[in-house]
């Protein structure tokens, strides 16, 4: 296995919104692996592929396995996302290399029984900064009720020569989601909005 210094999991379970019980209690989970940046100290590396092939699939399996365990099975995953935080001595591209290829994404998708493209966030930040990971539906990315986020922070990571790689998932929609969906939305054009405004 690659150089993993620690694994951190955050579980967020929403039961009340504005004091009202949520219609479908939702558990959101983010699991992060803090690893040594495999390109650290090497200057500009033109070909990132060898490290991608050796590191990304193992990370995807580890993180997704933890996600599934926290949520109680792949069938309990309704929404997913991914992220990477690169330490200050690395390139933003290093984080992207570990999460934006099939060696990570396809593994996460297959293990969670998803089909959607996976929404993401990646940043280069000092240690301890929080990262917000977006999520959307694992088989129907346009399902607006499942647009949500989970935040994770590792106090001592990433160190300058590290990367934090994150997989995240939710067991359901946003609490008390009620803003409709693309399948039921009216057609809205600028001309229609201008007519509405002039009618006021």
| Partners of residue 20 on adjacent β-strands | 17
pLDDT tens string 106-164: 999 999 999 999 999 999 999 999 999 999 999 999 999 999 999 999 999 999 999 99
* Regions of the chain with pLDDT less than 70: 1-2
Farthest-apart Cα atoms in the chain, separation: 65
| Cβ neighbour number for residue 63 with a 10 Å cutoff | 26
- Kindly list the distances between the CA atom of residue 93 and the CA atoms of 26, 84, 108, 157, in Å, as whole numbers in the listed order: 33, 10, 20, 18
Specify the 3-state DSSP secondary structure of 127: coil
For residue 180, what pLDDT is reported? 82
pLDDT at 199 (0 to 100): 81
Interior/surface letters 90-112, b for 16+ CB within 10 angstroms, e for the rest:
beebbbbbbbbbebbbebbbebb
pLDDT at residue 46, as a whole number: 97
Q: What pLDDT, on the 0 to 100 scale, is given for residue 2?
A: 67
CA–CA separation, 169 vs 138, rounded Å? 9
CA 93 to chain centre: 17
CA dist., res. 185 & res. 188, Å (int): 8
Q: What is the mean pLDDT of the chain?
A: 95
């Amino acid at each position: 296995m690659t150089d993993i210094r620690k694994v951190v999991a955050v579980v967020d379970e929403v039961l009340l919104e504005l004091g009202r019980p949520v219609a479908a209690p939702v558990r959101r989970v983010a699991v992060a692996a803090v690893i040594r940046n495999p390109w650290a100290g090497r200057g500009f590396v033109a070909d990132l592929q060898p490290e991608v092939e050796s590191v990304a699939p193992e990370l995807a399996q580890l993180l997704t396995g933890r996600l599934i365990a926290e949520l109680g099975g792949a069938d309990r995953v309704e929404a997913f996302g991914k992220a990477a935080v690169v330490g200050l001595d690395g390139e933003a591209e290093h984080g992207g290399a570990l999460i934006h290829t099939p060696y990570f994404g396809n593994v996460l998708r297959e293990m969670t029984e998803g089909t959607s493209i996976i929404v993401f966030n990646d940043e280069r930040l000092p240690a301890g900064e929080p990262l917000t990971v977006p999520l959307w539906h694992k088989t129907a990315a346009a399902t607006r009720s499942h647009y949500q986020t989970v935040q994770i922070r590792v106090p001592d990571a990433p160190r300058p020569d590290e990367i934090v790689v994150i997989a995240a998932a939710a067991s359901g929609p946003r609490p008390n989601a009620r803003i409709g969906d693309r399948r039921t939305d009216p057609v809205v054009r600028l001309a229609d909005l201008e007519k509405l405004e002039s009618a006021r």
